[in-house]
Amino acid sequence: MSEAAWRRLAPLLPPERGGLGGRPPKDRRRVLNGILWILRSGARWRDLPERYGPWQTAANSFYRWRRAGVWSRVLAELQRQVDERGELDWALHHVDSTVVRAHQHAAGAKGGSSTKHSAGAAAGSPPRSMSAAMATAGRSSST
């Protein structure tokens, strides 16, 4: 995270917390960089690189800050700052158009293989792929 970005975000985050037993406070910038790495990479918390500190610290901070509404307040404040400078176009909207198609059997049907294929039905139907067409052609020419 750049120095300029950190200067804008630091005042919006909860104060550094020291641990029990006289442990030093957690470095919020390091923790935030770890959280951002997880969000960018999609990795599991346990896969957080060591340079960001213990994964448990980053995960606990993320979830504690979420429960406390920190992320909503950070977004609202950053939007307010950008809007105040006239740099936010409220008419522009983005929608994530990511689509992940599930397999047809993942649609909530009862488990197990319920689809039955009959050799008779398959014999009269046209091939569904080039490899199937070639396999069918190879069988018919060898008989």
86-111: pLDDT as tens digits: 888 878 766 666 766 767 666 666 65
Provide the pLDDT confidence category of residue 128 given band limits of 50, 70 and 90.
Answer: low
User: What is the span of the domain harbouring residue 69?
Assistant: 27-89
Whether residue 79 is predicted with pLDDT greater than 60 in this model: the reply is yes
Q: For residue 122, is it within any domain?
A: no
Q: For residue 7, is it within any domain?
A: no
What do you get for the CA distance between the two ends of the chain, in Å?
Answer: 70
What are 54's two structure tokens? 């213990």
Residues 6+ apart with CB under 8 A from 8: 78, 81
Would you say how long the chain is, in residues? 143
| Residue 143 confidence (pLDDT) | 47
What are 120's two structure tokens? 């008779």
Q: What is the pTM of this model?
A: 0.58
How many CB atoms are located within 10 Å of the residue 32 CB?
A: 21
| Residue 30 confidence (pLDDT) | 93
| Residue 27 confidence (pLDDT) | 86
- CB–CB of 136/127 below 8 Å? yes
Whether residue 131 is predicted with pLDDT greater than 60 in this model: the reply is no
Instruction: Quote the CA–CA distance of 45 and 35 in Å, as a whole number.
Output: 9
Instruction: Quote the CA–CA distance of 58 and 30 in Å, as a whole number.
Output: 9
Q: Count structural domains, the chain.
A: 1
For the stretch 3-50, pLDDT in tens is 998 998 899 988 876 655 556 667 889 999 999 999 999 999 999 999
Q: For residue 13, is it within any domain?
A: no
| Residue 46 confidence (pLDDT) | 95
Q: For residue 19, is it within any domain?
A: no
For residue 104, the 8-state DSSP code is G
